[in-house]
């Protein structure tokens, strides 16, 4: 067959991975079904394809809606999305109306259905879900019409991005084995305790859609989950909680004091973190009552925190010492007419001294002659006055106790047969959720949203969560299958990688090159060179056909 005339060349690797993955998870069909309408003519570009177009843009130098045509100007749209799309069809009105339809269709339900598709397609089994929230700063002025349901309020609230001067939205996600399995967009002024309480009402639907056994399931979250209201809700729903008890709770203070007084009774324990580093702990199990609810608690001392906490503590010790010396310095010149007055002054100072965390102060009373101006008179006995002589020492016992408290945290669960070891092992998986927030906050993902209504902001944010879902599934499945087969890929610097990160997976797809040829009035796509073994390995494990880069809309 004639080679034809080459007319263009493209590098669709990274975008092709996103498209192929979304097709395998049934995203196109899901969006087409949920957003379709019997009224009016069909969309020129199917809703599922528009979702893919926005997701690809999110993952690659994100452009706002009004610049999507610029982003796709030099790309082979039909080859990438497997649908005949003309560049002149790309405009902000079309995609703005798509976001309106998505918001009306219920984006959280679509997210849940997509997660269920992923679990079924890739045979993913999980038991526990880790929940956490983050904020996303908004740079515009937004108003929500009163009385409308399903719309978030873009408002001021506790900013986790350290921008209390800006309005925000909040995102809540649930992860399991590093996969985003649940996601929610909510108002910027809602606190985490309230969100967790509301989420406990919804989590049963998530368990049902993902076929998670409720009897063995654990809802894991940070200290915002710990409250009497949430323990009550969990008891009503029969849901097991694992959380951290805030240090200011009376029961937590008592357990922290127990850690200080009975430190030698804490059992040594080592855990391996995500970097295969061995992390030492000391733990102790306790059963307590909190507001009438029995709780299994784990006293957990982290030895790896000691060095960092010691540095912070030394600064506090030095600061307290400086302030104490400044306060007592005037007594070097001050005198008292009698010893009783000096002792009364010591009693007054003792109130402040009791507040010291790291120092002890003892006073001596010294009798000194009272000096008068001029030459002392001969033959007269001198008059005597009294001075306080403070002796400042560091309180080693208090310093040691403070350091133990700083390195210790209390975990709690309403399932009383959990040991401290089990609680710690499960709670440490909470870091998986933080890693997904790093992706959401990365400027290489979506740095700013240029949308003009809360409805579109909400829909767009759910699309962001769906992208994180897709990518987390890809990372998990590739790692799982490579571990089964003992395969490896060659990463940057020709380094062999057996457990690739998402970034490593992304990187190898830059090698994909596709040439376009015109042949008898038709466009044909052919690989510029055979796919590298790295690319074939990833595509194989994700079930993505190798012709995803070349088949076009045929």
Q: State pLDDT tens for residues 113-139.
A: 999 999 999 999 988 999 998 876 654
pLDDT tens for the chain, 554 residues long, are 446 787 888 888 889 999 999 999 999 999 999 998 766 567 889 999 999 999 998 887 777 777 888 889 889 999 999 999 999 999 988 999 999 999 999 999 999 999 999 999 999 998 899 999 887 665 444 444 443 434 555 555 454 555 554 567 888 899 998 899 999 988 777 888 989 999 999 999 999 999 999 999 999 999 999 999 999 999 999 999 999 999 999 999 999 999 999 999 999 999 887 677 889 999 999 999 999 999 999 999 999 999 999 999 999 999 999 999 888 888 878 888 898 998 998 888 887 787 899 999 998 998 888 776 666 666 666 778 898 888 999 999 999 999 999 999 999 999 999 999 999 999 988 877 767 666 665 544 555 556 767 888 889 989 999 999 999 999 999 999 999 999 988 877 778 888 888 888 888 898 999 999 988 878 899 999 999 999 999 999 999 999 999 998 86
Task: Tell me the residue range of the domain where 300 lies.
Answer: 246-370+382-412
Q: Tens digit of pLDDT for each residue in 357-416?
A: 999 999 899 888 877 666 666 666 677 889 888 899 999 999 999 999 999 999 999 999
- Kindly state the tokens that stand for 498: 């057996």
In angstroms, the CA 485 to CA 482 distance is 5
Is residue 317 within a helix (H) or strand (E), and if so which, with residue range? helix 306-328
CB neighbour class for 180 (10 Å; exposed up to 12, middle 13-18, buried from 19):
buried
Q: Is residue 280 part of a domain?
A: yes
Token pair recorded at residue 203:
């989590």
Distance in angstroms (rounded) separating the CA atoms of residues 271 and 277: 8
User: What is the C-alpha to C-alpha distance for residues 102 and 111, in angstroms, rounded to an integer?
Assistant: 11
Residue 71 lies in a domain: no
Structure confidence at residue 498 (pLDDT): 87
Q: What are the C-alpha distances in Å from 501 to residues 332, 512, 539?
A: 64, 19, 15
Answer whether residue 267 is part of any domain: yes
Read off the pTM. 0.84
In a domain, 210, yes or no: no
Asked whether residue 69 is assigned to any structural domain, the reply reads no
Cβ atoms of 98 and 52 closer than 8 Å: no
Residues in CB range of 517: below 8 A, 6 or more apart: 3, 4, 5, 6, 7, 523, 524, 525, 526
Residue 386, token pair as written in the block: 């009294």
CA 69 from chain centre, in angstroms, equals 33
Residue 316 lies in a domain: yes
Is 199 inside a domain boundary? no
- Cβ atoms of 359 and 392 within 8 Å: the answer is yes
276 assigned to some structural domain = yes
Domains in the chain: how many in total?
A: 1
């Amino acid at each position: 067959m004639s080679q034809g005339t080459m007319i263009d060349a493209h590098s669709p690797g990274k975008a092709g991975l996103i498209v192929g993955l979304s097709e395998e998870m049934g995203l196109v069909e899901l969006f087409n079904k949920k957003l379709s309408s019997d009224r009016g003519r069909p969309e020129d570009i199917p809703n599922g394809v528009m979702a893919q177009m926005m997701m690809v843009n999110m993952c690659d130098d994100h452009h706002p809606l009004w610049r999507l045509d610029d982003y796709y100007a030099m790309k082979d749209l039909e080859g990438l999305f497997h649908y005949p799309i003309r560049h002149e069809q790309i405009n902000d009105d079309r995609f703005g109306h798509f976001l309106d339809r998505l918001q009306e269709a219920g984006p959280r339900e679509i997210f849940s259905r997509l997660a269920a598709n992923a679990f079924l397609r890739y045979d993913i089994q999980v038991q526990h879900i880790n929940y956490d929230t983050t904020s996303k700063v908004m740079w515009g002025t937004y108003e929500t019409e009163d009385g409308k349901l399903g719309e978030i309020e873009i408002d001021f609230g506790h900013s986790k991005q350290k921008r209390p001067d800006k309005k925000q939205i909040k995102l809540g996600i649930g992860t399991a084995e590093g996969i985003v399995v649940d996601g929610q967009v909510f108002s910027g002024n809602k606190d985490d305790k309230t969100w967790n309480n509301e989420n406990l009402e919804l989590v049963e639907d998530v368990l049902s859609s993902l076929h998670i056994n409720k009897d063995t399931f654990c809802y894991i979250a940070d200290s915002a989950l710990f409250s009497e209201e949430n323990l009550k809700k969990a008891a009503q729903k029969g849901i097991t909680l694992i959380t951290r008890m805030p240090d200011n709770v009376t029961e937590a203070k008592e357990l922290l004091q127990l850690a200080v007084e009975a430190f030698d009774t804490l059992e040594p324990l080592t855990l391996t973190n995500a970097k295969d580093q061995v992390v030492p702990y000391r733990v102790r199990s306790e059963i307590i009552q909190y507001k009438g609810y029995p709780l299994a608690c784990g006293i957990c001392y982290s030895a790896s925190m000691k060095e960092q906490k010691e540095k912070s503590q030394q600064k506090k010790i030095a600061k307290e010492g400086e302030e104490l010396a400044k306060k007592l310095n005037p007594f070097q010149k001050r005198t008292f007419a009698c010893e009783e007055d000096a002792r009364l002054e010591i009693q007054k100072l003792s109130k402040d001294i009791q507040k010291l965390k790291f120092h002890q102060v003892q006073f001596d009373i010294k009798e000194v002659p009272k000096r008068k101006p001029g030459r002392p008179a001969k033959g007269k006995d001198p008059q005597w006055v009294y001075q306080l002589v403070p002796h400042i020492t560091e309180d080693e016992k208090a310093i040691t106790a403070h350091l133990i408290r700083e390195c210790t945290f209390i975990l709690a669960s309403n399932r009383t047969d959990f040991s401290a070891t089990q609680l710690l092992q499960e709670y440490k998986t909470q870091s998986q959720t933080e890693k997904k927030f790093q992706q959401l906050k990365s400027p290489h993902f979506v740095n700013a949203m240029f949308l003009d209504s809360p409805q579109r902001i909400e829909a767009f944010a759910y699309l962001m969560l769906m992208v994180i879902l897709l990518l987390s599934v890809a990372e998990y499945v590739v790692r799982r299958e490579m571990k089964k087969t003992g395969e490896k890929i060659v990463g940057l610097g020709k380094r062999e990688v057996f457990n690739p990160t998402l970034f490593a997976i992304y990187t190898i797809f830059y090698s994909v090159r596709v040439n376009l040829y015109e042949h008898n009035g038709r466009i044909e796509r052919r690989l510029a060179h055979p796919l590298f073994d790295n690319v074939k390995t990833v595509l194989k494990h994700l079930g993505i056909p190798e012709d995803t880069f070349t088949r076009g809309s045929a």
